[in-house]
Structure 1
Amino acid sequence: MNSPVRAGIIGTGFMGGVHAQAIRTAGGTVTRVSGSSSAKADSFARRIGAKSVASTADALIESDDVDVVHICTPNNSHAELALKVIEAGKAVVCEKPLATSVAEAQALSAAADAAGTVTAVPFVYRFYPAIREARARILSGESGNLWLLHGSYLQDWLSTDDAANWRVNPELGGGSRAFGDIGVHWCDLMEFVTGHRIVRLTATVSNAFPRRAMEGGMKTVMTEDGANILFETDQGASGSLVISQVSPGRKNRLWFSFDGTAASYSFDQENPGNLWIGGSRSTRILPSGNDSLGASASAEYAFLPAGHPQGYQDCFNAFVGDMHAAIHGKRPEGLPSFADGLRSAQLTEAVLASAASRSWAEIPLPVKAPRYQSIS
């Protein structure tokens, strides 16, 4: 029997709590945490039931009782911390973006591949049962030829000019905010579900509020509130994507329609219990449950009967469960790795370059998936 995975969490905010819940659900133990201050780390450890507090992030990474490190810190620290974990010979889960530049993401992906390190980036929308069902149906050929891939990802947490946090600051969050934060989720999901890869795109970025209330008063915003993107894929499809973090009333609406010549598939993350399947003569809504899904690949992630929708935390739990399986030497289908984090960095760079030049930008095709070595 595989021993429980011992995890360390760097970062004490909202995402750290999500990771902690997923670790426990997957049968692991949070042995150590670290934060930006000892007070925050102590409070976080008590809240999530961690066994101990590490004095620094470096001390946590080097701890003998940590098998996998979860990096849940501001974006500008991801690359440095992830590299230290790889060099320590441990598995790593790094919040996206993997890095704030393509060069750093490439270096991390190459280092992890060379070391055989088990890595993951939380593109957790892959783990909805409805998403796995759509993927299985499309890859089986049921859709016919996919020719139009379109959708949006809309939030409203920045819908007033006094709303801001570290993500608005490019020195901490990186050069792209809306696309780099949520647009990459949509693109990852599209490529995962359809098997298509974006090879060129043209984009515009914009701001609802040119100035926001930040530390020191009202300041000019240097990162985008939203983006509009047209793209083409390696299999001849075209698509469009609207990204916004200033759409009042939209809390976390990732929506897509993937349209083929024989069938179309639509999913709405604010109503995750259903998959809409359209045909020329009829349409139907397929409820997501372990008693209703047809594909074994989707039923594996459906823990409840139809009518009991699974949500974001359930996806995160399944993601971490697959990460633990990879640590024990298995190769779960669809576990997003540092190679996928690199892919998102390349797409983000292309969006910013296209918006700046008002022209189309090319994106290289991804490399093959890495081969992992068990560290159990």
Structure 2
Amino acid sequence: MSPQTGSAPHPPSIGMLGAGFMARTHTLAARTAGARLAAIASSTPERAASAAAQLGYEQALAPDELLAAGLPFVHVCTPNRSHLGYTRSALRAGSHVICEKPLATTAAEARELAAEARAAGRIGAVPFVYRYHPMVREARARIATGETGTVLTVSGQYLQDWLLDAQDENWRVTTDSGGPSRAFADIGSHLVDLVEFVSGDRITRLVATSRTVHAERGGQAVDTEDAVALTVELAGGGIGSLLVSQVAPGRKNGLVLEIAGTRESVRFEQEDPERLWVGRRGHSLLLRRDPDTLSAAAARLAQLPAGHPQGYQDAFNAFVADAYALAAGDTRDGVPTFDDGARAAVVTDAVLESVRSGGWAEVSEA
């Protein structure tokens, strides 16, 4: 990937399944990477045709037609319950796949998809795109080189308010479309991925509690959670607490991660992604995104000079370009694969188990 353009070597022809916000975000990233927008499919022919015209795809197809075409890359941006079937069909048609999270609605199904991608020799990637903020890579580099010391504690939160009121509706609120977990599978998975990616450690056990604030939305019973709080233990001995909510007034996309080591703490806030707070006992630092002073891993993702802000779409662009580069045979560090998607599903299953039992749940490494 070129640091200036975000373009990928040998950009592929792609098919897009879905026409909502995430499909638009994927499309912008694909276009930036130089991909050919070959085909798009949606829930109805009319919606697909409208999306093709708006987003610049060459043609609108039915989902089965798009999957059968065997395009080099398929992006799956459809409701959660459909991920398993669509992704499996795309892999079996010979396509590489970028599938929105959750990769599947159970850990067992997510593991199946990861295994199938490996067996087919296909790239499977999941958009844990917060990994692609340069200052996240800077935090990771400080921990990996030992500058932060041994990890003692982690704390994090991911807070939103878009489902605050009872009249706020979305297909994710019921298990039929979204799966058994909503808030945690939707945004908690990002937080857990960042905890493990940045710390280089694994969550081994956890205890969780959840709340469903509105029993009904739009006259329909709600059977997924609005908020989750959990305590975690890490393999290396660290402990932590995480809070996830989609009913936090005023919080639009409040993803925050702080990791304390024996020498220093690092804190990243997604809504202020141009800086990283580094806390020390004697003094603290506020590191700005400046490619001239960052680690090599962070500087690679600094596509603009210091003082020219980068944000969410820039992170998404870099992720998609890296996924395309992997498929072209290049090497890229830190690309979130189907294995990472399966890992998030394993943690989600452990959260649901703990909520049901009221006790600690082990997080499997299988």
Identify the TM-score tier after normalising by the shorter chain. Answer: over 0.9
Question: Which residue does 2:36 correspond to in 1?
Answer: 29
1:159 and 2:171 aligned = no
Q: How many Å separate the matches in 2 of 1:106 and 1:98?
A: 9
Q: Secondary structure at the match of 2:198?
A: helix
Question: Which residue does 1:58 correspond to in 2?
Answer: 64
**Superposition pairs of residues 184-333 of structure 1, within 5 angstroms:** 184-213=189-218, 218-293=219-294, 295-333=295-333
- After TM superposition, the score normalised by the length of structure 2 is 0.96
Q: How many Å separate the matches in 1 of 2:22 and 2:362?
A: 32
Q: How many Å separate the matches in 2 of 1:219 and 1:57?
A: 28
Residue deviations 1:17-66 (CA, integer Å, cap 9, x gap)? 00000001111111100111111111111111111111x212112225x2
Q: How many Å separate the matches in 2 of 1:211 and 1:33?
A: 34
Q: Secondary structure at the match of 1:246?
A: coil
- RMSD of the alignment, in Å? 1.2
Please report how far the alpha carbon of residue 365 of structure 1 lies from its aligned counterpart in structure 2 after TM superposition.
2.4
Tell me if structure 2 keeps the 8 A contact 1:351–1:361: yes
Q: How many Å separate the matches in 1 of 2:57 and 2:316?
A: 19
Code of the aligned partner of 1:302: A
Tell me if structure 1 keeps the 8 A contact 2:9–2:324: no
Residue deviations 1:179-227 (CA, integer Å, cap 9, x gap)? 01000100001100110100100000002222222xxxx2332100000
Q: Secondary structure at the match of 2:260?
A: strand
Q: How many Å separate the matches in 2 of 1:285 and 1:100?
A: 39
Q: How many Å separate the matches in 2 of 1:163 and 1:308?
A: 35
Code of the aligned partner of 1:351: V
Q: How many Å separate the matches in 2 of 1:331 and 1:97?
A: 25
Code of the aligned partner of 1:205: S
- After TM superposition, the score normalised by the length of structure 1 is 0.93
Residue deviations 1:287-331 (CA, integer Å, cap 9, x gap)? 1132342x0000000011222221111110000010110110013
Q: How many Å separate the matches in 1 of 2:9 and 2:247?
A: 46
Q: How many Å separate the matches in 2 of 1:219 and 1:42?
A: 30
Q: How many Å separate the matches in 2 of 1:126 and 1:230?
A: 22
Tell me if structure 2 keeps the 8 A contact 1:155–1:250: yes
2:51 corresponds, among 26, 44, 48, to 44
Code of the aligned partner of 1:60: L
Q: How many Å separate the matches in 1 of 2:29 and 2:106?
A: 28
- The alignment covers a number of residue pairs equal to 359
Code of the aligned partner of 2:348: T
Gaps of 5+ in 2: 1-7
Please report how far the alpha carbon of residue 2 of structure 1 lies from its aligned counterpart in structure 2 after TM superposition.
4.9
1:103 and 2:108 aligned = yes
Gaps of 5+ in 1: 367-376
Q: How many Å separate the matches in 2 of 1:63 and 1:355?
A: 43
Q: Secondary structure at the match of 2:57?
A: coil
Superposed structure 1 runs of 4+ greater than 6 Å apart:
none
Code of the aligned partner of 1:321: A
**Superposition pairs of residues 72-91 of structure 1, within 5 angstroms:** 72-91=77-96
Q: How many Å separate the matches in 1 of 2:149 and 2:334?
A: 22
Q: How many Å separate the matches in 2 of 1:110 and 1:154?
A: 33
Residue deviations 1:265-296 (CA, integer Å, cap 9, x gap)? 00111111110011111111111132342x00
Code of the aligned partner of 1:53: A
Please report how far the alpha carbon of residue 256 of structure 1 lies from its aligned counterpart in structure 2 after TM superposition.
1.1
Question: Which residue does 2:4 correspond to in 1?
Answer: none
Tell me if structure 1 keeps the 8 A contact 2:81–2:177: yes
